[in-house]
Structure 1
Amino acid sequence: MIFRQITHDDLGCASYLVGDSTAGVAVVVDPRFEIDIYLDLARYMNVRIEHILETHNHADHVSGHGRLAAATGATIHVHRLAEPEYDHEPFDDGWELAVGDLVIRALHTPGHRPEHTAFALIDGNRGPEPWALLSGDTLFVGDVARPDLAVDKSEGARGIFTSLQSILALPSECEVWPGHLGGSMCGGPGMDMKVSSTIGYERAHNPILSETDQDSFVEQSIAKLGPQPPNFQAIVALNRGPLLTSGVEPLPLTPRQVEVKQSEGALLVDVRTDRQFDDAHIPGALCITKLNAGFGSKLAWVADREQDIILVGRDDEDAREASKLATAVGIRRIAGFLHGGMTSWREEGRPVGRIERVTVDELHERLDADPELQILDVRAQGEWDAGHIPGSVHVPYHDVTEVPEAFDPARPIAAICGSGQRASLAASLLALHGAATVLHVTPFGVPAWGRAGYALDVEEASVAAAS
C-alpha cells in the first residue's frame, strides 16, 4: 500500500496520495494547486493517478483538481451536495472505491460544509477495519473544524457534533490524518502542528471532544471563532466552478514600470524579511514576508482581489515563489514583479521608505519619556483580552484600513503584536495610510512586555474565563 501526506506549510493544508503499488494505481485526496509533487511521486512509485477525491469545496485554498485531472485524465469524485460545475462522479455516504487491495470508504460528515466527507482507508491485506481516517476538515489534531463557512454557525456546529459521533466510533487505534495543521484558518486555536494522531488519543486528549452535551459543544465551538477569512466565498466559487488548469505567470518589470503601475493603483507587496523592509523599501509598499508561514493568508486579508499586485523580493525567484503562494489563495491579479529585486530599485537611486525598529524594552523607555506615544496592538481579540499595554488601542492587523481615529497621524505610532510578524505588516499599513512616523516593535511583543514585569491590563471577560 502507498500512503503519503503532502503539506502546504504556508497555509497549513494537507493532501494525500494513496494507492496500491501492485495494482499500479493511485488516488490524490484534496490536491493543492501546485501539482508537480503528485506527478513526481507517481512517477517515482510507478503508479497511475486515476482518481481525485475532494473532502469538500475548500474555502481557504484553490484546489488543484482541475490541473491534476488535465495532466493525468483522472476522474474527480466529490459528494453530490457539493454540486460543482465541472465534470465529476458524485458519491453518497458509504460509497467505496477499490484501488487494488486498498478500499476507500466515504463517511459523510457535514458541519464544516454540508457536503463534507471523510475517507476511511481499509488495507485488505491486513484486516477489514479502517486503519486510517482522512478526516478532512472535521477532526483535527487537538481541535475540530470551524462551523461558520457555509451555514449558520450554530447549525454548522450541531452538524459537526453529530458527525464526530460516527468518527469517534472508529477503532481507537485508527490513525487520524487531517486536512489541516496548526495555523490554518479552518480550525481553532487548539489545532496542533503535529501531522497525525489516532482516534483513541483524540478521544482522550482533544478538549472539545470531552463535551458530550450538544448545546455545550455548540456554545464552545462558537465562542472561540475568529473572524471569517475575507475571500472564502470567492475561493469556494473557484473550487466549484469550471476547472482551473492554468496558474499565474508574473512578468518582470523595470523600476520605472513598477512606479507607473503603482501610480495607476497597483498594490506593492514586499516579500523580503521584515528587517530588510524596515531598512529600505519602496514607499507605499506593504511588508508580508514569504519566508514565514501565513504569507497567503495575510495577503488574502489585506489585498483586493480586483486590484493589481506587484511583488518585490530579494530577487526574481523570491517574487515567483510568492506568486505561487498568492495563487493558492485565489489572488490571481499578479501584474508583475520588480526585476532584479529591491537592488535594482536602489541602483537607480530611487526614493526609499524606512521604519524604525524598537525592542519591547526600548518601547517601555520611550513610553516613560513620552507618555503620549501611541501604541497600536494588532493581535486577535482573544490575545488582547488576555493582556494588553495600558493606553494602547486595539485593531487587528487585517482591519488597519486607515490610521485609527484615536490616533494623531502626525505623532509616532508603535505597532505591536505577539512576535513582531503581524506588527511588521501593520506598520507598513499605517505608513501607507499616512502615519508620519511608525515604529515596528520587534522581536517579540506584548507577551514579552508582560514577562519583563511591565504593567498589563486584562479584560474582565478574560479574567472571569480564567477563574
Structure 2
Amino acid sequence: MIFRQITHDDLGCASYLVGDEDAGVAAVVDPKLEIEEYLALARYMGVRIEHILETHNHADHVSGHGRLAAATGATIHVHRDAAPGYDHEAFDDGWELELGAVRVRALHTPGHRPEHTAFALIDTARGPEPWAVLTGDTLFVGDIARPDLAVDKEEGAHDMFASLRDKLLTLPGACEVWPGHLGGSLCGGPGMDMKISSTIAYELAHNELLAETDENAFVERAIATLAPQPPNFQAIVALNQGPLHSGHVDVEPLTARQVEVKQLTGALVVDVRTDLQFDDAHIPGAVCNPAVRAGFGTKLAWVADRDHEVILVGRDDDDAIHAAHLAAAVGITDLGGYLAGGMTSWREEKRPTEGVERIDVSGLRERIADVQVLDVREQGEFEAGHLAGAVHAAYHDIDGVPAGLDPARPIAVICSSGQRSAIAASLLLRAGAQHVIHVADGGVVTWQQQGWPIEQPQSAAR
C-alpha cells in the first residue's frame, strides 16, 4: 500500500496520495494548487494517478483538482451535495473506490460543510477493518473544524456532533486519524496541534470537545471561540466549485517606475521580505507580510482588496514569485507584477523609502508612559488579558487610525509574537500615523511572563 501525506505549510493544509504499488494505481485526496509533488511521487513509485477525491468544497484554499485532472486525466470524485460545475463522478455515503488491494470508503460527515465526507482506508491484504481515516475538515488532532463556513454556525455544530458520534468515533480505537489541516489553519480552533496524525482512541481520550456527550453543550462550546470568518472564503468556494482551471500562475516583472505608477493608480504594494528588512527600509505605503512566515496567504486575503491589483516586493525575483504562488492558493490572482531585482533595485535608483521603529517588549516597558499601545490580536485574546490602557483593533480590521489613538503621538503596536504587529504597523503607516513602533520578538505573553501588570476583565471591572 502507498500512503503519503503532502502538506501546504503556509496554509496548514494536508493532502494525501493513496494507492497500490502492485496494481500501479493511486488517488490524490484534497490536492493543493501546486501539483508537481504528486506527479513526482507517482513517477517515483511507478503508479498512475487515476482518481482525485475531494472531502468538500474548500473555503480556505484553491484546490489543484483542475490542474491535476488536466495533467493526468484522473476522474474527480466529490459528494453529491457539493454540486460542482465541472465534470465529476458524484458519490453518496458508503461509496467505495478500489485501488488494487486498497479500498477507500466514503463516510458522509456534514458539519463543516453539508457535503463534507471523510474517507476510511482499508488495506484488504492485511485486514477488513479501516486502519486509517482521512478526516478532512471534521476531526483534527486536538480539535474539531469550525462549523460556520457554509451554514448557520449552530446548525453546523449540531451536524458536526452527529458526524463525530455516529461515524468517526465508531471506528476502531487503533484507527489512525489523518486530518485535512494542521495547527495554524483558519478552518480549526485554538486546540489544533501541529502533529500530523493521531488515533481515534487518543482523540477520544484527550480531545476536550469529544469528551462532551451532551449535544447542546457541545454546540455551545464549538461556537464559543470561533475566529472571524475570512473575507474571501465565499470566493474560494466559488473557484473550487468550477469551472476547472488548469493554468499556472503568471506574474510580470516590473521596473521601479512601473511599481510607482501602479501604486499611484491604486495597486497595493505588499512587501514579502522579513519584517526586520521591512522595518529597516521599504517602499512608502507598502504593507508588510513576510512570505517566510506561515500564514502569508491567509493574512494577504485579509488585507488585499480584490478590486485592486497586488504588487509584490521581495528580496529578489524568486522571493516574489514564490509569494505569487502562495497568493494564488488563496484565490488572490489579480497580481499586477513584482519588482524585478527586489528591493535592491528600488534602493539602487535612490527612490524614497521609509522605516518603522522596532523595539522588543523590554523596550516597550521602558517607554510605556510615553506611548499609546495598540493591541492587534483577536478579540478573545485581548479579553483574556492585555496591557492597561491598550486600544484594541485586530490587525485585519485596520483601515485607518483606530478611534482612541492620536495619529500625531507615538503608537506602539503589539500582538503575541511580533508577526501580526508587523502587518498592523505597516497598515497604520499607510493610514497616516506619524510615529509607529513595531513591538517585535515577543508580545503580550512575553510581557505577562515577566510579571508585569496585565489588565483582565475581572480586574478591569473592580
TM-score past 0.5 threshold: yes
Q: Which moved more, 1:444-453 or 1:111-120?
A: 444-453
Kindly tell me: are residues 462 and 20 of structure 1, through their superposed partners in 2, closer, same or farther at Cα, counting changes over 3 Å? farther
Contact 1:316 1:338 in 2 (8 A): yes
Q: Distance in 1 between matches of 2:39 and 2:459?
A: 51
Q: What's 1:322 paired with?
A: 323
The one-letter code of the counterpart of 1:181 is L
Determine if the alignment matches structure 1 residue 403 to structure 2 residue 407. no
- Please identify runs of 4+ aligned residues in structure 1 that moved more than 4 A: none
Shift in CA distance, 461/148, structure 1 to aligned 2, threshold 3 Å = farther
Q: What letter matches 2:13 in structure 1? A: C
| Identity level (%) | 69
For residue 394 of structure 1, the aligned residue among 392, 395, 402 is: 392
Partner Cα distance (1:246, 1:306) in 2: 21
1:427 corresponds to which residue? Answer: 425
5 Å-filtered alignment, 1:151-162, equals: 151-162=151-162
Are the equivalent residues in 2 in contact too, given 1:122–1:129 (CA < 8 A)?
yes
Three-state SS of the structure 1 residue aligned to 2:433 is coil
The answer to whether the aligner puts 1:246 opposite 2:258 as a matched pair is no
Structure 1 CA distance for aligned equivalents of residues 150 and 111 of structure 2: 9
Determine helix, strand or coil for the equivalent of 2:368: helix
Structure 2 residue aligned with 1:133: 133
2:16 matched to which residue of 1? 16
Task: Please name the residue that 1:60 is paired with.
Answer: 60
1:347 match: 348
Query: Paired residue for 1:255?
Result: 256
Rounded to whole Å, the distance in 2 between the matches of 1:128 and 1:90 is: 25
Opposite residue 405 of structure 1, the aligned amino acid is A
Assess, with a 3 A threshold, how the Cα gap between structure 1 residues 133 and 67 changes in structure 2: closer, same or farther: same
- Paired amino acid for 1:120: A
Structure 1 residue matching 2:236: 3-state secondary structure: helix
Aligned counterpart for 1:418 among listed residues 416, 419, 444: 416
1:50 equivalent in alignment to 2:50: yes
The Cα offsets for residues 185-233 of structure 1, whole Å up to 9 and x where unpaired, read as 0000000000000000001110100000000000000101110011000
Contact 1:21 1:47 in 2 (8 A): yes
User: Hey, what's the Cα distance between the residues in 1 that align with 2:248 and 2:151?
Assistant: 30
Match of 1:104 in 2: 104
What runs of 5+ residues in structure 2 fail to find an aligned partner? Answer: none
* Deviation of the 1:461 alpha carbon: 10
Gap change, CA 1:462 and 1:290, over 3 Å in 2: farther
| 8 Å contact from structure 1 (residues 27, 49) kept in 2 | yes
Distance across 2 between alignment mates of 1:110 and 1:259: 48
CA offset digits 1:16-50 (Å, max 9, x no partner)? 00000000000000000000000000000010000
TM-score by length of 1: 0.97
CA RMSD, 1 decimal: 1.1
CA distance in 2, matches of 1:241, 1:76: 12
Aligned-partner residue type, residue 428 of structure 1? S
* Structure 1: stretches of 5+ with no match in the other structure: none
Does structure 1 residue 361 correspond to structure 2 residue 362? Answer: yes
Give me the TM-score of the superposition, normalised by structure 2: 0.99
CA–CA separation in structure 2 for the residues paired with 1:379 and 1:317: 31
What amino acid does structure 1 have at the position aligned with 2:98?
A
Describe the SS at the equivalent of 1:107: strand
Question: Structure 1 residue 216 and structure 2 residue 217: aligned?
Answer: yes
Residue by residue over 1:421-457, the C-alpha shift from the partner in whole angstroms, topping out at 9 and shown as x without a partner, is 0000000000011101100001101111112222110
